């Protein structure tokens, strides 16, 4: 018999689609969806437990007002890492950044202190044209992050500009934005 903690299991996946910024990704079925108030764009957070607002997966899209180009990657990466390092007790564990055609993507896994609690996040920024999308997978604790990592991975890695459901021929109910 193993003392390893149980891992979360999938009961299904749903497509989250943001029609304003035209992006989508998969989220675990059964997670609670809440809008994020954002003066710069649109956002949503999915929580496995509505009683824990610090563990979940969020996305936010915004229009920067100017197009971003692959040559902007060094400045964007420097600003991204500088911002992460400003968090209390920040430790950046992994990071990467690249430009692929007109897409710029960068990400980092890091921990930081929130009072006496050490939290862990995986942040990914994506740019296409003048659109920026921020994806954040966070655990209320380092242990919670690692417990939910398989679910976070699914959402983080299925992100794409465009609509997964439409491209697969799935018809949405009238007025449905997805998720």
Residue 179 domain-assigned?
A: no
Residue 5 covered by a domain: no
Note the pLDDT of residue 171.
Answer: 64
Q: Which residues contact 36 (CB under 8 A, 6 or more apart)?
A: 43, 44, 45, 58, 60
For residue 65, tell me if it sits in a domain. yes
Q: Tell me, what's the pLDDT at 175?
A: 46
Buried b / exposed e along 85-102 (16+ C-beta atoms within 10 A): eebeebeeeeeebebeee
In a domain, 153, yes or no: yes
Query: So what's the pLDDT on residue 166?
Result: 84
What's the token pair of residue 124? 């990914």
Rg from Cα positions in the chain: 17
Say how far apart CA 129 and CA 157 lie, in whole Å: 20
pTM confidence score? 0.91
Q: What is the SS3 assignment for 39?
A: coil
| pLDDT of the residue at 4 | 57
Q: Is residue 116 part of a domain?
A: yes
- Give domain status of residue 95, yes or no: yes
Read off the CATH number of the domain in which 124 is found: 3.40.1000.10
* Residue 31 belongs to some domain of the structure: yes
Determine, yes or no, domain membership for 6: no
Q: Specify the pLDDT at position 157.
A: 96
Q: How many domains does the chain have?
A: 1
Closest C-alpha among 5, 59, 57 to residue 30: 57
Residue 151's domain comprises: 13-167
Mean pLDDT by 10-residue block, N- to C-terminus, for the chain (179 residues)?
A: 66 91 95 88 93 97 96 97 98 97 97 97 98 98 97 96 85 54
Tokens of 166: 């439409």
CA distance readout (Å), 149 to 120, 121, 175: 11, 10, 32
Checking DSSP bridges between strand 23-28 and strand 32-36, what pairing results, if any?
unpaired
């Amino acid at each position: 018999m193993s003392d390893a903690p149980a891992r979360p299991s999938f009961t299904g996946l749903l497509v989250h689609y943001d029609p304003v910024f035209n992006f989508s990704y998969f989220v675990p079925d059964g997670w609670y969806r809440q809008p994020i108030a954002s003066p710069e764009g649109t956002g949503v957070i999915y929580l496995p437990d509505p009683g824990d607002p610090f563990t979940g997966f969020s996305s936010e899209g915004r229009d920067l007002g100017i197009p971003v180009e692959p040559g902007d990657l060094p400045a964007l990466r420097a600003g991204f890492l500088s911002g992460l390092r400003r968090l209390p007790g920040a430790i950046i564990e992994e990071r990467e950044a690249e430009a692929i055609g007109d897409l710029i993507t960068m990400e980092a896994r890091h921990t930081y202190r929130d009072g006496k609690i050490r939290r862990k996040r995986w942040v990914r920024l994506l740019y296409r044209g003048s659109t920026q999308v921020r994806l954040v997978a966070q655990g209320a604790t380092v242990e919670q992050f690692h417990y939910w990592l398989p679910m976070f991975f699914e959402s983080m890695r299925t992100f794409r500009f465009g609509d997964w459901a439409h491209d697969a021929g799935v018809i949405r109910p009238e007025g449905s934005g997805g998720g």
